Structure 1
Amino acid sequence: MAAISPGEAPLSEEESRRQLRRAVVASTIGTTIEWYDFFLYSIVTGLIFAKLYFPESNPLVGTLQAFLIYAVGFVARPVGAAIFGHYGDRIGRKATLIVTLLLMGIATFAVAFVPTYATIGIWGAVILTVLRFIQGVGVGGEWGGSVLMSMEWARTNGHRGFVASWPQFGVPAGLFLANLAVLAMSQISGSGFATWGWRVPFFLSIVLVAIGLYIRLNILETPIFARLLAEHKIEKTPILEVIRRQPKDIVLSAFARMAEQAPFYIYTAFVFTYGVRNLGATRDLLLTAVLAAAVLEFFTIPLFGHVSDLIGRRKMYLIGAVCAGIFGFIYFGMVDTKSSLWIFVAIMLSLVPHAMLYGPQAAFIAESFTGRMRYSGASLGYQLASVIAGGPAPLIATALFAYYQSGYAVACYVLACAALSLISASLMGDHTNQDISREYDEARAMGDDGHARPAT
């Protein structure tokens, strides 16, 4: 479908294809940058923030305190979803995405300059908390816009899962770059990494932001939003309307993410604390293994997005939830051998079940909401999971291990999250290969032949 803005002629097929490519590239690169920023913080939290900002606490308490600041970013994400969901449905996907990129990038850049406890005492942790909250607000608004920017430019219904999976590609790409940056800085000898080396990756993020900003400024608004604008179907309060009209879809979307969110942050954030302190693994081994896992997801995320176009979004998602629940026990069974080889293999494979969920997830959630409230509804459902799953996961994992002294206790937590996702996803609607350009309430009032159904 060609984009039609008020007063403008439809785009040619060739120009539509060009805009689709630009939208996919802009969304993917943008999410890569934003997730680089977000993951950089999570990696450094597990490695060094407890020592720098809570040096007077014992190691376990200091780790919990550092992860509490880490969790603040997740609490802020629904706030960002509400703010930018509103404006994304009111003024458009493109403008909103530019603001979220700037917000996230500037907050991350500022982390490079936060003084430690030794310099300003507890105020260092306070500043980190504020910046982490701003990061979370930016990420909360980013996801929905990036997915819609790609998905709403898709020219055929049969490829939406694959197209929408590319913004998801930004997660492993950002994870790879963040781990690579920390790994490179960790080669600094002596106390250099703890003193200044960890700050360099945060400082360099401003370069990536400039690149992302340039790309996003050169894309057009999506055809679906342009059509809504031309037909004067913009909601005045989209957040309130989607809560009123589709509350079930919001709640189910949030709980459907449990099996994807919680294990992901256990395998990419908690693993640094667990691996170094309990397995005796080196920092470089863990960083390299997570790098390998991220590279593997470069291929598996678009693969499972494509598979969802073939077998259906919901079926693919249910298969992924089952695999995620089982894999937790396999994962801790391998890492608890304390063998470097098995630790590496376990971490490298840990994101395969994640990809089975994350690949189809963007289209699965976004398709659940009607166009004029899609940014608000999808963002809110998606980001609420950050509060109930992503943010608490490292904290819950740390507490479970401290109490039971067994990784299998954490695996049971992963299994419980998978069960919740399985139930929630089974109750969600499946819009695979269906037309999402027409408003759902209008479509329900029309017959398959396009004529209004008789009143009953």
Structure 2
Amino acid sequence: MATVSETSPVTVRRMVPILAASTVGTAIEWYDFFLYGFLSATVFPKLFFPELDPVAGTIASFTTNFVGFFARPLGGAFFGWFGDRVGRKSTLIATLLLMGIATALMGLLPGHAQIGLAAPLILSVLRFLQGAGVGGEWGGSVLLSMEYGDNRRRGFWMSWPQTGVPLGLALAAIAVLSFQAIFPGEAFLSIGWRIPFLLSLLLILVGLYIRLRILETPAFRRVKETGRIAHVPLVEVFRHYWREIILSALVRSAEQAPFYLFTTFILSYGSKTLKVDSSVLYAGLIISAVCSLILMPTWSHLSDRFGRKRWYMIGCVLMALYAFPYFLLLETRLPVVVLLAMILSISFCHDWLYGPQAALISERFGTRLRYSGASLGYQLASITAGGPAPILATWLVANTHTWLGSGTPSYTLIAVFIIFMAVVSFISTALLGRELAGQAAVEDVGGEETRLTTQVQ
């Protein structure tokens, strides 16, 4: 079993096994989550909602997709309780198993033609379990990096679990593209789409092997040894940190809503409205994900140097400024320009916000309630921003000409929605409180004073 000395200096060598455990596991969970999102835009309307017209079928499919987002804060609350009571490591193992098993079962689920209405209902239940797993995963994975790392490079260390999102995105896109090539046309609708879901079982084994080799974080061990474990974490965290939870959810608006427009809605909008080949869109996701592996830690490192709040607020402005140019680039329908639009949207605008976000949120909560507080603040945005975004965007495209006239571009209201989300995040970030980049995280409340694991090196 890999061990890390609590008193040893915080070096890259010391952090590698910790970052591997948090990042690889997170990548596997997001691979599972994104698979569903991709296929909800292309395959699931035909397989599970064949009796609806194309627009209604897509909205229905995105609605089952939203079930996973609805479950995320519930999973954050449920697993946050275990994370603050039992420990980060054991909770992360549980979330990995839940997510992987639910995903594999999706690959075995018959369609509407075989079992009728039961098919979308069971699909929704499995999506709920997926969402609950992701809801509990994020808090534990970023806290591994935070509570083993130091204050000076907190944003950088915590950005690596965040890269699990583009890794999972790339893996899911590669899997879909590969099996579309192996099973072309109707063969993909019947059997090809199922294989990537079943492969999740193999990925679980990899994730478990890595996570079982790490120890509990030093910060949580100290809380446990001194008898300061929270008795009812969910009640206590709302009592002491309700303001931070609400603001954390709103802070994510400029990142969360656009991200699912850039990665899920684009597959439907690009292929059906713009008539762009789906292989171009999936290639854009893969290239963007590769760029994110470099840019996300870079933006996070810069947030350590220049201030997390300042960096994040600049990112909100950039997201708002890019809203209309993004769609103008897509409207060219030129593959190279479409790829450029996607790369800029994800690797530049989104990652500018998402990389430092883990530190920005988690450092606002004391150790004994950090898993619950950070998870709830982060996951509530899946209901207020991420989950509804593809549904709302599909509806807005279908109604823009009715409301604004036939000469109005169909993307106009979606771009306005992105700008609105950016404004919400900008104001919420300003209200978060003092800057904590390079400083110790906030002190515990409801118990004896404590500071974050390792002081500035």
TM-score between the two structures when normalised by the length of structure 1: 0.93
Q: Would the alpha carbon gap of residues 226 and 444 (structure 1) be closer, same or farther in structure 2, given more than 3 Å must change?
A: closer
Q: Deviations over 1:290-320 (max 9, x none)?
A: 1111111111110111011101111111011
| Residue aligning to 2:383 | 387
| Residue aligning to 1:177 | 171
Residue 166 in 1 paired to residue 160 in 2? yes
- 1:111–1:202: 8 Å Cα contact kept in structure 2? yes
CA distance in 2, matches of 1:65, 1:194: 18
**One-letter amino acid matched to 1:439:** D
SS of the residue aligned with 1:56? Answer: coil
What is the correspondence of 1:88-127 to structure 2 with a 5 Å cutoff?
A: 88-127=83-122
Shift of 1:336: 1.3
What is the correspondence of 1:32-111 to structure 2 with a 5 Å cutoff?
A: 32-111=27-106
What is the correspondence of 1:130-279 to structure 2 with a 5 Å cutoff?
A: 130-154=125-149, 156-187=150-181, 188-279=183-274
| Residue aligning to 1:361 | 357
Q: Deviations over 1:74-93 (max 9, x none)?
A: 00001001001111011110
CA distance in 2, matches of 1:268, 1:324: 15
Shift of 1:445: 11
Which of 297, 301, 311 does residue 296 from structure 2 map onto?
A: 301
Residue 377 in 1 paired to residue 368 in 2? no
- 2:44–2:61: 8 Å Cα contact kept in structure 1? yes
CA distance in 1, matches of 2:235, 2:184: 54
| Residue aligning to 2:400 | 404
CA distance in 2, matches of 1:15, 1:255: 32
CA distance in 2, matches of 1:191, 1:248: 51
What is the correspondence of 1:12-51 to structure 2 with a 5 Å cutoff?
A: 13=8, 20-51=15-46
CA distance in 2, matches of 1:189, 1:132: 26
CA distance in 2, matches of 1:229, 1:11: 15
| Residue aligning to 1:450 | none
**One-letter amino acid matched to 2:97:** L
- 1:73–1:132: 8 Å Cα contact kept in structure 2? yes
Which of 329, 333, 337 does residue 338 from structure 1 map onto?
A: 333
Q: Which moved more, 1:400-409 or 1:253-262?
A: 400-409
Shift of 1:340: 2.2
| Residue aligning to 2:313 | 318
Q: Would the alpha carbon gap of residues 443 and 310 (structure 1) be closer, same or farther in structure 2, given more than 3 Å must change?
A: farther
Shift of 1:246: 1.1
- 2:250–2:428: 8 Å Cα contact kept in structure 1? yes
- 2:31–2:172: 8 Å Cα contact kept in structure 1? yes
CA distance in 2, matches of 1:99, 1:198: 26
- 2:271–2:277: 8 Å Cα contact kept in structure 1? yes
SS of the residue aligned with 1:386? Answer: helix
CA distance in 1, matches of 2:160, 2:377: 20
- 1:75–1:391: 8 Å Cα contact kept in structure 2? yes
Shift of 1:189: 2.7
Q: Which moved more, 1:238-247 or 1:186-195?
A: 186-195
Shift of 1:324: 1.0
Q: Would the alpha carbon gap of residues 29 and 444 (structure 1) be closer, same or farther in structure 2, given more than 3 Å must change?
A: closer
Number of equivalenced pairs: 438
**One-letter amino acid matched to 2:152:** G
Residue 432 in 1 paired to residue 426 in 2? no
Shift of 1:212: 0.1
- 1:88–1:96: 8 Å Cα contact kept in structure 2? yes
CA distance in 1, matches of 2:9, 2:323: 46
Q: Runs of 5+ in structure 1 lacking a partner?
A: 5-9, 447-456
Q: Would the alpha carbon gap of residues 11 and 261 (structure 1) be closer, same or farther in structure 2, given more than 3 Å must change?
A: closer
Q: Which moved more, 1:13-22 or 1:422-431?
A: 13-22
Q: Which moved more, 1:126-135 or 1:426-435?
A: 426-435
| Residue aligning to 1:449 | none
Shift of 1:370: 0.9
Shift of 1:322: 0.8
Q: Deviations over 1:97-137 (max 9, x none)?
A: 00000000100011100101111111110110000000000
Q: Runs of 5+ in structure 2 lacking a partner?
A: 402-409, 452-457
Q: Which moved more, 1:20-29 or 1:125-134?
A: 20-29
Shift of 1:21: 2.1
CA distance in 2, matches of 1:441, 1:316: 31
CA distance in 2, matches of 1:326, 1:150: 32
CA distance in 1, matches of 2:72, 2:99: 11
| Residue aligning to 2:425 | 421
CA distance in 1, matches of 2:10, 2:144: 16
Shift of 1:436: 2.9
| Residue aligning to 2:324 | 329
Q: Would the alpha carbon gap of residues 445 and 111 (structure 1) be closer, same or farther in structure 2, given more than 3 Å must change?
A: closer
Shift of 1:437: 8.1
Identity %: 47
Q: Would the alpha carbon gap of residues 117 and 140 (structure 1) be closer, same or farther in structure 2, given more than 3 Å must change?
A: same
Q: Deviations over 1:381-401 (max 9, x none)?
A: 000000011100000100111
CA distance in 1, matches of 2:319, 2:63: 25
CA distance in 2, matches of 1:17, 1:242: 32
Q: Would the alpha carbon gap of residues 443 and 413 (structure 1) be closer, same or farther in structure 2, given more than 3 Å must change?
A: farther
